[in-house]
A and B are shown apart, each in its own frame.
Chain A
Amino acid sequence: MTLTDIIMAVVSVLLLGIAFMAVSSKKLIKGVIFLSALSMLSVVSYVLMKAPDVALTEAVIGSGMVTALFVFTLLSIDKGATK
């Protein structure tokens, strides 16, 4: 087993763990944060698999923008609820 294999194995386990947390978390905001972390970990796996273009795109769009949109949705809902 080379070093790459070991790192990939670790990343795989982390991916699954975080995905499980994202699916099973009770609070919505937690789910969103775990999704963001999952996306960031997928960036790591893209880098490991020699895909820098995809890694950059996923980091900016998937991890950044999508999380922002989720948070805005939850924020605006919270505001409406407290009114």
Chain B
Amino acid sequence: MIQYAAIILIVFGLYGLLSNHNIVKMIISLNIIEIGLNIFIISVGFVYDGIAPILTSTNSSSALLYVDPLPQALVLTAIVIGVGTTALGLALAKKIHSKYGTFELDEMGDNE
């Protein structure tokens, strides 16, 4: 269920990117794609009745049933990379706004 929701989120993001002409909205859509992708990655490693992959004093043995830790590690990386691109995109958006005075692609003319 949640896996399909993740795929639909990615599709939503793609639709948003294709149909929007506002650069801030495009960055928002990009973020939606990333969130959907991250949920999908985590869902690939989920195991029913599995426990979170941390050894503690209550779950102290490695022989118990854990959920897959590798996708979680990958998502940590993906989240940070996403923040990097978002920050850069927003900085570019600010730059574009100071040059053209608008966020709308249609109002910028096609001098680029």
A/B: CB atoms within 8 Å of each other: yes
Chain A contact residues, CB within 8 Å of chain B: 4-5, 8-9, 11-13, 15-16, 19-20, 22-23, 28, 31-32, 35, 38-39, 42, 45-46, 48-54, 57-58, 61-62, 65-66, 69-70, 73-74, 76-77, 80
Main secondary structure, interface of A, reads helix
Q: Are A65 and B83 in contact (CB under 8 A)?
A: yes
Q: Are B97 and A19 in contact (CB under 8 A)?
A: no
Main secondary structure, interface of B, reads helix
CA distance A9 to B43 in the complex (A): 13
Q: Are A49 and B94 in contact (CB under 8 A)?
A: no
* Contacts known (A50-B51, A61-B79, A65-B83); A11 close to B32, Cβ less than 8 A: no
Q: Are B38 and A80 in contact (CB under 8 A)?
A: no
**B55 at the A interface (CB under 8 A):** no
Minimum CB–CB distance for A1 against chain B, Å: 10
Question: Which of A12, A48, A52, A61 sits near B54, CB closer than 8 Å?
Answer: A52
Minimum CB–CB distance for B80 against chain A, Å: 7
Cβ–Cβ < 8 Å partners of B38 in chain A? 42, 54, 58
Cβ–Cβ < 8 Å partners of A35 in chain B? 28, 31-32
Cβ–Cβ < 8 Å partners of A50 in chain B? 46, 50-53, 67
